Chains A and B, each alone.
Chain A
Amino acid sequence: MSADPAPAVNEMPPRLQLRGISKRYPTVVANDRVDLTVKVGEIHALLGENGAGKSTLMKIVYGVTRPDEGSIEWEGRIVSIASPAEARRLGIGMVFQHFSLFETLTVAENIALAMDEKVKPADLAPRIREVSEKYGLPVDPNRLTHSMSVGERQRVEIVRCLLQSPRLLIMDEPTSVLTPQAVRKLFETLRRLASEGVSILYISHKLDEIRELCDTATVLRGGKLSGKAIPAQESNESLARLMVGSELKECQLKPREPGDIQLELTNLTLPSRDPFGTVLKDINLRVREGEIVGIAGVSGNGQKELLSALSGETLCPHSGMVRICGQPAGLRNPALRRKLGLTFVPEERLGRGAVPPMHLAHNALLTGAGAGMVRFGLVQNRAAREFAKETIAQFKVKCGGELAAASSLSGGNLQKFIVGRETRLTPKVMVVAQPTWGVDVGASLLIRQALIDLRDRGVALLVISEELDELFMICDRIAVIAQGRLTQPLPSSELSIEKIGVLMAGGEAKTAEAADVV
């Protein structure tokens, strides 16, 4: 495939036109005859909830995956995009949701890898600086990627795309890792690129953003095209109907007086075991009976380390740093903390929260040993099956019964099972990480309501989430974690997204400045 220069600019064909794209996997149809048109210089939203098939479609455009059926037209010519290199030759650039950067390499090396001409990383440096200055995306070519914040990494990805002067830029959920201020800056950059004639395909499930930024939108639901729209002329409600098929329901939080302190972190300072991790610095936090405290923050600011210190997977230097129901627990392992009344829903479901090849009854046993599933050191299979069965019924888990393997469940259903399991183990304190990450709308609602019900029964809950909307929906108080430090939680009613954004940037802004200076 040769990279012809762009055709003459008279009657301009659309930059990208997909017709009837289908992609089937053994267990799921990811795309079912999807059409999509992106015009020159347009910011086009691809909207859909988790599992709607957005990412698969983008991987097809970027040549990572091949479609089973359908055609791709690029600037009026039918093309077949067999690899990302071919996509880049055509002029397509992509910024991935989970960044495609190599941790142990420098910025310049990372960029050199994705350039299709062979260039020495050292020779790239001036070009990187030039582009980053032009678009206000400060990036230091010689820094190692693992030392950078997520926001900085995203800038690297964008700069990498821009160096190839793309004519179509795909952004996959770019704002999920950014502070509200960084989102503003990103939008400026994107608008500027669009004004220079670059088409932008913007994948998101955040309705406000799309209405603000995008010229046109294509909406997917269950792998199929469910509608096209001009976002500025739509309301959140009408877009949600296209996306979900029904109105978005919200959970209600009734005011409630919290009780005694059940979870307490005192001056928790902890070095990270991971050389690329975040050090926790002097964290203080109290969670009381009957309240949900949320922790907001851009990922990579110490959430993983905090969760590990809470669960007991990492032990603290002093036992008093973590107290569960008044008992010092900093030196207790996860099993012992569970005996004190803590249950825990980890971020990673398959492989941490559940053992993929094991059936659900044995996955109930994973944390349920204390609930009558083990006697005299022997596994009580009947009790485990009973427990799993009840969990499945109570939390409406769609699966092939209690003997279905955890790996056979969809993300949302597995999360319902895990939340159900941890809920039914009658916790006094429950810690939940990313309760609805990657979960469809129906399951999200059920999970959030389950957490609120626990709160109303007097359980102390701590929820760590990157979704600010979610935190505002279910939390009594919200704290922010930035660079391993935690702010004092404030009542949700006294906070706004902007205010949280300022707190989130507490560390972020400093490192960005530091990068500018270098």
Chain B
Amino acid sequence: MDLAHLIPILVSTVIAATPLIYAALGELVTERAGVLNLGVEGMMLIGAVSAFVVGIKTGSLLLGFAAAMAAATAVSLLFAFLTLSLQTNQVATGLALTLFGIGLSAFVGRGYAGMPIERVPKLDVPGLSDLPVIGPLLFSYDALVYLSLGLFAAVSWFLYRTHAGLRMRATGESPSVAHAIGEPVIAIRYLAVMFGGAMAGVAGAYLSTALTPMWVEGMSSGRGWIALALVVFGTWKPLRVMLGAYLFGGVTVMQLYAQGFGIDVPSEFLSMLPYAATIVVLVLICRDPKTILLNQPASLGKSFHPDA
């Protein structure tokens, strides 16, 4: 395989991985605070439809992204209220959020299917973007791709280098201990869930305005769930989660290019690859239960009631 073939594959990989990075890093923060939000898929769809509709109505993609973040944060707040203030089961509520998101996005997006929207523009860096190999490989993306790297840096810095991050990790470790030493457990968890929501919103917006600039019902097609799997795969560590996202981006892109290389497999089987890969990596990482025990926030998915 020569460079001319390889470069577009790598470039598509990075682009395909970008929404996964946003969604997975957002969920990582949520889970680090001890909350399991299975509603990522639903929040992504709400983000996708919001960005698309607002983008078309206002003509501003910036407003579209803002709307996506606001809408996804709003539904994550609903999740937070149910699970944190009303102590509902996190698994059931997360499922409800996903089902709700699928329904709401389909409802809002009616009439927008098939409409064209302008794609998020690429940032052209004069000089650099024209360089051979390096130009297309490093300087041919839209701003969201670069911001996803910034997000990775920010999340890592927050978790491991700031006092607030320490408090959040501690809350996910043991909310009862955190409560006993005076941490506002519920407030911290609210913020973490909302951050996860906002990032899922960005991920969804990226789907409908950059990756495939259009609105289709259920267009996230499992990416929210894959993001959840990536957090496990990345053992709740930002760097590994991001690398996992690129790996999955690669798998997704592979199906598009495989036929071009004369690999004669029905397209359905190629489309199965990301889902099958998700199962395979989950098995690999969960094989030794200690890996999970050592890395998973100890209170993940468990309700906490300050008075109990």
Is B289 in the interface zone, CB < 8 Å from A? yes
Assembly CA distance A83 to B182 (angstroms): 6
| B170 cross-chain contacts in A, Cβ below 8 A | 102, 105, 109, 113
Q: Are A96 and B180 in contact (CB under 8 A)?
A: yes
Assembly CA distance A56 to B97 (angstroms): 38
Is B179 in the interface zone, CB < 8 Å from A? yes
A79-95 at interface with B (beta carbon < 8 Å): 83-85, 87-88
Is A103 in the interface zone, CB < 8 Å from B? yes
Assembly CA distance A337 to B134 (angstroms): 67
Q: How does the 8 Å CB contact mask read for A60-75 relative to B, with 1 for contact and 0 for none?
A: 0001110000000000
Is B119 in the interface zone, CB < 8 Å from A? no
Q: How does the 8 Å CB contact mask read for A26-47 relative to B, with 1 for contact and 0 for none?
A: 0000000000000000000000
Q: Are A100 and B177 in contact (CB under 8 A)?
A: yes
Is A275 in the interface zone, CB < 8 Å from B? yes
Q: Are A104 and B290 in contact (CB under 8 A)?
A: no
Q: Are A105 and B169 in contact (CB under 8 A)?
A: yes
Is A352 in the interface zone, CB < 8 Å from B? no
Given known contacts A102-B174, A105-B170, A105-B173, is B181 in contact with A114 (CB within 8 Å)?
yes
Given known contacts A105-B170, A274-B293, A275-B294, is B180 in contact with A64 (CB within 8 Å)?
yes
| A96 cross-chain contacts in B, Cβ below 8 A | 180
Question: What are 23 of the A-B contact pairs (CB < 8 Å)?
Answer: A83-B182, A84-B180, A84-B182, A100-B181, A102-B174, A102-B177, A102-B178, A103-B174, A103-B298, A104-B294, A104-B298, A105-B170, A109-B166, A109-B170, A112-B163, A113-B178, A113-B183, A114-B182, A119-B163, A120-B163, A121-B166, A274-B293, A275-B294
Given known contacts A103-B173, A103-B174, A105-B173, is B293 in contact with A113 (CB within 8 Å)?
no
Q: Are A113 and B173 in contact (CB under 8 A)?
A: no
B264-297 at interface with A (beta carbon < 8 Å): 289-290, 293-294
Assembly CA distance A112 to B161 (angstroms): 13
B174-208 at interface with A (beta carbon < 8 Å): 174, 177-183
The 7 closest A-B pairs by CB, nearest first: A84-B182, A85-B182, A100-B177, A102-B173, A100-B180, A114-B181, A118-B163
Interface residues of A (CB under 8 A from B): 63-65, 83-85, 87-88, 96, 99-105, 109, 112-114, 118-121, 273-275
Q: Which of B177, B179, B289 gathers the greatest number of chain A CB atoms within 10 Å?
A: B177
Contact partner of B166 among A63, A83, A113, CB < 8 A?
A: A113
| A84 cross-chain contacts in B, Cβ below 8 A | 180-182
Assembly CA distance A113 to B298 (angstroms): 18
Q: Are A112 and B181 in contact (CB under 8 A)?
A: no
Interface residues of B (CB under 8 A from A): 163, 166-167, 169-170, 173-174, 177-183, 289-290, 293-294, 298, 307
| B293 cross-chain contacts in A, Cβ below 8 A | 274-275
| A109 cross-chain contacts in B, Cβ below 8 A | 166, 170
| A119 cross-chain contacts in B, Cβ below 8 A | 163
Give the nearest-CB partner of B181 in chain A.
Answer: A114
Assembly CA distance A417 to B166 (angstroms): 43
Q: Which of B178, B179, B180, B290 gathers the greatest number of chain A CB atoms within 10 Å?
A: B180
Q: Are B289 and A273 in contact (CB under 8 A)?
A: yes
Assembly CA distance A9 to B290 (angstroms): 56
Assembly CA distance A85 to B307 (angstroms): 17
Q: Which of B167, B177, B180, B181 gathers the greatest number of chain A CB atoms within 10 Å?
A: B181
Q: Are B182 and A88 in contact (CB under 8 A)?
A: yes
| B307 cross-chain contacts in A, Cβ below 8 A | 65
Q: How far is the CB of B140 from chain A (nearest CB, A)?
A: 40
Give the nearest-CB partner of B161 in chain A.
Answer: A120
Q: Are A63 and B182 in contact (CB under 8 A)?
A: yes
Assembly CA distance A84 to B289 (angstroms): 36
Q: Are A113 and B167 in contact (CB under 8 A)?
A: yes
Q: How far is the CB of A418 from chain B (nearest CB, A)?
A: 22
Assembly CA distance A65 to B181 (angstroms): 12
Q: How far is the CB of A24 from chain B (nearest CB, A)?
A: 12
Q: How far is the CB of B232 from chain A (nearest CB, A)?
A: 17
Assembly CA distance A120 to B298 (angstroms): 24
Assembly CA distance A105 to B179 (angstroms): 16
Assembly CA distance A472 to B173 (angstroms): 38
| B163 cross-chain contacts in A, Cβ below 8 A | 112, 118-120
Assembly CA distance A274 to B293 (angstroms): 8
Assembly CA distance A114 to B166 (angstroms): 11
Give the nearest-CB partner of A64 in chain B.
Answer: B180
Q: How far is the CB of A26 from chain B (nearest CB, A)?
A: 10
| A274 cross-chain contacts in B, Cβ below 8 A | 293
Q: Which of A84, A88, A113, A121 gathers the greatest number of chain B CB atoms within 10 Å?
A: A113
Assembly CA distance A274 to B289 (angstroms): 9
Assembly CA distance A99 to B163 (angstroms): 21
Q: How far is the CB of A99 from chain B (nearest CB, A)?
A: 8
Assembly CA distance A430 to B70 (angstroms): 60
Assembly CA distance A63 to B181 (angstroms): 9
Q: How far is the CB of A70 from chain B (nearest CB, A)?
A: 18
Give the nearest-CB partner of A63 in chain B.
Answer: B182
Contact partner of B181 among A103, A105, A113, CB < 8 A?
A: A113
| A120 cross-chain contacts in B, Cβ below 8 A | 163
| A112 cross-chain contacts in B, Cβ below 8 A | 163, 166
| A63 cross-chain contacts in B, Cβ below 8 A | 182
| A118 cross-chain contacts in B, Cβ below 8 A | 163
| A87 cross-chain contacts in B, Cβ below 8 A | 182
Q: How far is the CB of B287 from chain A (nearest CB, A)?
A: 15
Q: Are A64 and B179 in contact (CB under 8 A)?
A: yes
Assembly CA distance A65 to B308 (angstroms): 11
Assembly CA distance A103 to B181 (angstroms): 15
| A104 cross-chain contacts in B, Cβ below 8 A | 173, 294, 298
Assembly CA distance A96 to B166 (angstroms): 21
Q: How far is the CB of A226 from chain B (nearest CB, A)?
A: 27
Give the nearest-CB partner of B184 in chain A.
Answer: A83
Assembly CA distance A428 to B35 (angstroms): 46
| B177 cross-chain contacts in A, Cβ below 8 A | 99-102
| A275 cross-chain contacts in B, Cβ below 8 A | 290, 293-294
Q: How far is the CB of B169 from chain A (nearest CB, A)?
A: 7
